[in-house]
Amino acid sequence: MNTPQLSLIISFYNKIQILEKVLESVALQTFRNFEVVIADDGSKESVVERIRQLQKDYSFPIRHIWHEDAGWRKNEILNKAVCSTETEYIVFIDGDCILEPHFLEDHYNARKRGEVVTGRRVMLTPKATDKLLAKKLSQASFKFGLFFQLFIETLFHGRKTLLERMIRLPKCLRNIFIKERKRFILGCNFSLHKSDLLSVNGFDERFQYPGYGEDIDLEFRLARNGIPSVSRKCQIVQFHCYHKHFDTNYEPNKHLLQENTDNNITYTPYGICK
């Protein structure tokens, strides 16, 4: 096993069937020198035991960072996971996002100190999610069959799949047709150097509700520190498994985001170093 050059942090809570598929997609990656860190926000004991079994099933290292379930504390467990990493470059995904085989390769090749690499996601429909979860993943799982299914559901059933994000251009074509531009961080698909993340003291742990503010706050603080987020269109493809939408209109998160913005905060006192 080569020394890892990249750490993949997976934020996770209890959805073990989907995590199993995420790890299957990780095993298919063209980039091989990586470690996996599961940032577990308090999953139940039966799930923890299954993760222990999964750690033995793969040749790449899997570290499981867990804390007690005391409500939504994703930012806190992510900070703990960051501290456990053994590499300088970190990719963040959510535990319900399945990775196209070039995902880690694209992130690593796009790395640049003083810059966040941010990707986007294809939204799987309920049928597409069930189909991917039903059988073992392979390289073929992400090709024409999946594209055709999502195309049909988009065209005839009005599903919002963001299908165009499945397109991954070779580097030579991408350099001709795609212009890099600044874009907001998507919390389930971004990467950066650990030293850049530490320069703003990681995630603000006061955000204690999902869906709004916790990743935007990190993006804003990094930008104020001279570290912009740049999109990689037509690369870095992932597939978000379907789940019902939840309410993201949480006022405390909005107030925290506004407070950090108004005070021009870059280095949060509520992050990795207290």
Residue 136 belongs to some domain of the structure: yes
Residue 19 belongs to some domain of the structure: yes
Residue 227 has, within 13 A of its CA and on its CB side, a CA count of 27
The pLDDT tens digits of the residues spanning 68-122 come to 999 999 999 999 999 999 999 999 999 999 999 999 999 999 999 999 999 988 9
Residue 177's pLDDT band (boundaries 50, 70, 90)?
low
Q: Which residues contact 45 (CB under 8 A, 6 or more apart)?
A: none
Stretch 47-72: mean pLDDT, rounded?
Answer: 97
Closest by CA position to 93, among listed 29, 154, 148, 144: 29
The pLDDT tens digits of the residues spanning 1-49 come to 578 999 999 999 999 999 999 999 999 999 999 999 999 999 999 999 9
Residue 87 belongs to some domain of the structure: yes
Bridge partners of 238, per DSSP, are 99
Element (H, E) at 10: strand 6-12
Scan for tokens 């999502």, then name that residue: 150
First-to-last C-alpha distance (Å) of the chain: 35
Residue 60's pLDDT band (boundaries 50, 70, 90)?
very high
Domain count within the chain: 1
Residue 89 phi, psi (nearest 5): -120, 135
The pLDDT tens digits of the residues spanning 210-261 come to 878 889 999 999 999 999 999 888 789 999 999 877 667 788 999 999 999 9
CATH number at residue 53: 3.90.550.10
The pLDDT tens digits of the residues spanning 194-213 come to 999 999 999 999 999 887 88
Question: What pLDDT sits at residue 1?
Answer: 59
Long-range contacts formed by 49-58: CB under 8 A, 24+ apart: 50/16, 51/16, 51/19, 54/19, 54/20, 54/23, 58/23, 58/26, 58/27
Q: Which domain holds residue 31?
A: 6-256
Structure tokens at 146: 């999946």
Residue 272 belongs to some domain of the structure: no
Residue 265 belongs to some domain of the structure: no
Rg of the chain over Cα atoms, rounded to whole angstroms, equals 18
The pLDDT tens digits of the residues spanning 129-161 come to 999 999 899 988 888 888 888 888 888 777 888
